[in-house]
Amino acid sequence: MSLSPLIYEQKAVEEMHSPILLLDELFDSEHPSVVANCGKGLVNLVSAGAVVVSATHRPGHFAGISSRTVTLSGGKVLSDVKL
């Protein structure tokens, strides 16, 4: 099965048994319209049971789509907030 990144139909996600996505600075240099479109895809994935973990220097890009924010510095947890 060939699927484009972040654009999965709910059935495809269910067939993959709840994927876990680890993303590194996904939105850090993207245009706001790309962030909005990809954000919708991430929300759809999570709604279908996926787990998305993202490392970013721009947490504001995830405002409204994240359910938890963990802030690290030097490998130490500074905060862990459920939204």
Per the prediction, the chain carries an average pLDDT of: 81
Residue 24 inside a domain? The answer is: yes
Residue 52 inside a domain? The answer is: yes
Q: Furthest-apart CA pair in the chain: how many Å? A: 41
Residue 1 inside a domain? The answer is: no
Residue 74 inside a domain? The answer is: yes
User: Collapsing DSSP states into helix, strand and coil, what is residue 32?
Assistant: helix
Residue 30 inside a domain? The answer is: yes
pTM recorded for the entire structure: 0.65
Residue 2 inside a domain? The answer is: no
Provide the residue count of the chain.
83
Range of the domain at 47: 10-82
CA 36 centroid distance within chain: 12
Q: Which residues are within 8 A (CB) of 27 and not within 5 positions of it... i.e. 6 or more apart?
A: 34, 35, 38, 39, 54, 56, 58, 61, 62
Reported as a pLDDT band with limits 50, 70 and 90, residue 18 is confident
